[in-house]
Amino acid sequence: MINLPLLPILIPLLTGVLLMFFTKRLWMQRIVSFLSTLLTIGVSLYLVSQVKANGILTVTLGSWPAPFGITLVSDMLSALLVLTTSVLVFFVIWYSMTYLSEQHQRFYYYIAVQFLLVGVNGAFTTGDIFNMFVFFEVFLISSYVLIVLGGKPAQLRESLKYLLVNVISSALFVMTVAFLYGIIGTLNMADISQKISEINQPGILSVIAILFLVVFGLKGAIFPLYFWLPGSYQVPPTPVLALFGALLTKVGVYGILRTYSLFFSNEIGIIHSLLGGLALATIIIGVIGALATKDAKQILIYNIIVAVGVILYGVSVMTRQSLEGAVFYLLHDMLIKAALFLLVGIMIGIAGSSRLKSMGGMIKAYPLLGWTYFIAALSLAGIPPFSGFIGKLLIVRGGIEAGDLVGPFIVLASSLLVLYSVMQIFIRGFWGTPKTYTGSRRHLVKQLLAPSILLVMITVAYGVGAEAVRPFITQAVDPLVDPSLYIQAVLKEG
């Protein structure tokens, strides 16, 4: 199958188009999007196995040879990210069927989710920097629709700001691509990587590196550019929030990971230490936010920021071990953040509000929910048998190996504080005297628990089966450590 890397983009795209033909029939919408995401998962699994067997797969669209046409590249990193994305979207669709009101689902909800999947999968797969911009726009426009669906005053107010921030960062992205094209004269990422070392212009390259940091940092919410995230992510309903928190920020992180390993790998100087410093500041600011708030949603939202910081610290160190840790933690965080948001969504559905004040004593009525949340919380903080531990261990060891002590200390200290912040939800929500719950979704808990528990089980399996996952991670890190593998796969096969 030569066109295999295209399928995870094409299937949701065609599904999205197909769904537009019967927008009135909700049941058909649900069944079709449920089945098509299952199919996407199957294809992504096959893609991962093929990449494992045959190395990096490339598709040149229209058979134009590599530096001229648009190339899609599936190395192990992007294949794993595509698989994780498809799995998450599947569970979120399953969850949304019962969580969201029928009226909400009727307003093109499933279509927007399918196009979000197109954009995210495309951004992970593309090997062309301008194409990446286009796929960014695809998922951003879907996210504009998802964030504003519902039309409450608070949603309109926050989506205006979300839209403005993203429009500005998109314009900056185009400008960055323009500068890059101006000095290198190509848009193919492998070609850029090859030629960027020949052009001896460190000044303008630093400018481009920092512009990329700003562009992807705005999407990924790193330290000075995270300001829009807590407000915007507060307003959409929880399943949408699970998609945003798990996928959208991680695409920004992927952008930094890809560009910094391919384009700027030779300049491990000021730019990488800048990235490291910002990553540590991101961890600190995220932890402070998570500890300061008394709102279940906000605690998790600030934890998104912490995770972005931890991953980017691993990226900035740029040793093999820290990169392995970063990739491992990236996949772990996508899964566990979505699972936690789905679980907290059930709590909000029971209590009717996301404030911790209005919850309490839920463990009596909902023991299964409570213990699932407990496992997910331990997993997020990185308690040993679970998946967060291995990623953090590798990042910390990589950091120490590179001679840095402050970074590993902050990463380790942050895990304790993260544990404290998510345990706040457990203690205040599940312990204490039961309150009278007034939430509108109290009767739906059974249906909502099924996808959430399955997702938590996947994350537990991911941690316990780390030995089995390790070869995949190692293969994913290979082209990051040694860009020539990526370059050869793209340019030689063309």
Partner 1 sequence: MEIIMAIAAGILTMCAVYLILSKSILRIIIGTGLLSHAAHLLVMTMGGLKTGAAPVLEDGVTKYTDPLPQALVLTAIVISFGVTAFFLVLAYRAYQELGTDNIEEMKGTDTND
CB 444 within 8 A of CB 349: yes
Phi and psi at 248, nearest 5°, equal -65, -45
Instruction: Output DSSP code: residue 59.
Output: E
Instruction: Give kind and range of the element (H or E) at residue 293.
Output: none
Smallest separation (angstroms) from partner 1 to the CB of 190: 17
Smallest separation (angstroms) from partner 1 to the CB of 237: 6
Contacts of 487 (CB under 8 A, 6+ apart): 190, 191, 193, 194
- Tell me which of 61, 101, 103, 157 binds partner 1, using CB under 8 A: 157
Phi and psi at 440, nearest 5°, equal -80, -10
Q: Interior CA angle at 393 toward 392 and 398, to 5°?
A: 95
Instruction: Give kind and range of the element (H or E) at residue 263.
Output: none
| Interacting residues with partner 1 between 158 and 177 (CB under 8 A) | 159-161, 163-164, 167-168, 170-172, 174-175, 177
CB 100 within 8 A of CB 237: yes
Does the protein bind partner 1 through residue 144 (CB under 8 A)? yes
Burial status of residue 474 (CB atoms within 10 A of its CB: 0-12, 13-18, 19 or more): middle
Which range, of 34-42, 102-110, 140-148, 360-368, touches partner 1 by CB under 8 A? 140-148
CB 490 within 8 A of CB 193: no
* Integer angstrom CA distances of residue 478 from 323, 395, 484: 10, 16, 10
For residue 213, the SS3 value is helix
- Tell me which of 58, 85, 238, 387 binds partner 1, using CB under 8 A: 238
For residue 57, the SS3 value is strand
Does the protein bind partner 1 through residue 20 (CB under 8 A)? no
Nearer to partner 1, 164 or 457 (CB): 164
Residue type, 400: I
Does the protein bind partner 1 through residue 65 (CB under 8 A)? no
Smallest separation (angstroms) from partner 1 to the CB of 28: 27
Nearer to partner 1, 161 or 492 (CB): 161
Which range, of 23-31, 131-139, 360-368, 393-401, touches partner 1 by CB under 8 A? 131-139
Max alpha carbon distance in the chain (Å)?
68
- Tell me which of 34, 46, 107, 179 binds partner 1, using CB under 8 A: 179
Nearer to partner 1, 33 or 131 (CB): 131
* Integer angstrom CA distances of residue 470 from 49, 84, 474: 14, 16, 6
Nearer to partner 1, 148 or 490 (CB): 148
Smallest separation (angstroms) from partner 1 to the CB of 396: 35
| Interacting residues with partner 1 between 404 and 443 (CB under 8 A) | none
Does the protein bind partner 1 through residue 152 (CB under 8 A)? yes
Smallest separation (angstroms) from partner 1 to the CB of 228: 13
Pair of tokens at residue 54 = 């045959």
Smallest separation (angstroms) from partner 1 to the CB of 274: 24
The count of residues interacting with partner 1 (CB under 8 A) is 42
| Region for 434 from its dihedrals, namely left if φ exceeds 0, alpha if ψ lies in -120 to 50, beta otherwise | beta
Nearer to partner 1, 31 or 164 (CB): 164
| Region for 185 from its dihedrals, namely left if φ exceeds 0, alpha if ψ lies in -120 to 50, beta otherwise | left
CB 67 within 8 A of CB 21: no
Nearer to partner 1, 261 or 354 (CB): 354
Nearer to partner 1, 128 or 324 (CB): 128
Instruction: Output DSSP code: residue 56.
Output: -
| Interacting residues with partner 1 between 289 and 348 (CB under 8 A) | 295, 297, 348
* CA 247 to the chain's CA centroid: 3
Nearer to partner 1, 55 or 231 (CB): 231
Does the protein bind partner 1 through residue 17 (CB under 8 A)? no
For residue 73, the SS3 value is strand
Q: Binding marks (x or -) toward partner 1, 195..234, rule CB under 8 A?
A: ------------------------------------x--x
Nearer to partner 1, 178 or 270 (CB): 178
Which range, of 51-59, 130-138, 324-332, 362-370, touches partner 1 by CB under 8 A? 130-138
Q: What is d(CA 472, CA 76) in angstroms, rounded to the nearest whole number?
A: 7
Footprint of partner 1 (CB under 8 A):
130, 133-134, 137, 141, 144, 148, 151-154, 156-157, 159-161, 163-164, 167-168, 170-172, 174-175, 177-179, 181-182, 187, 231, 234-235, 237-238, 295, 297, 348, 353-355
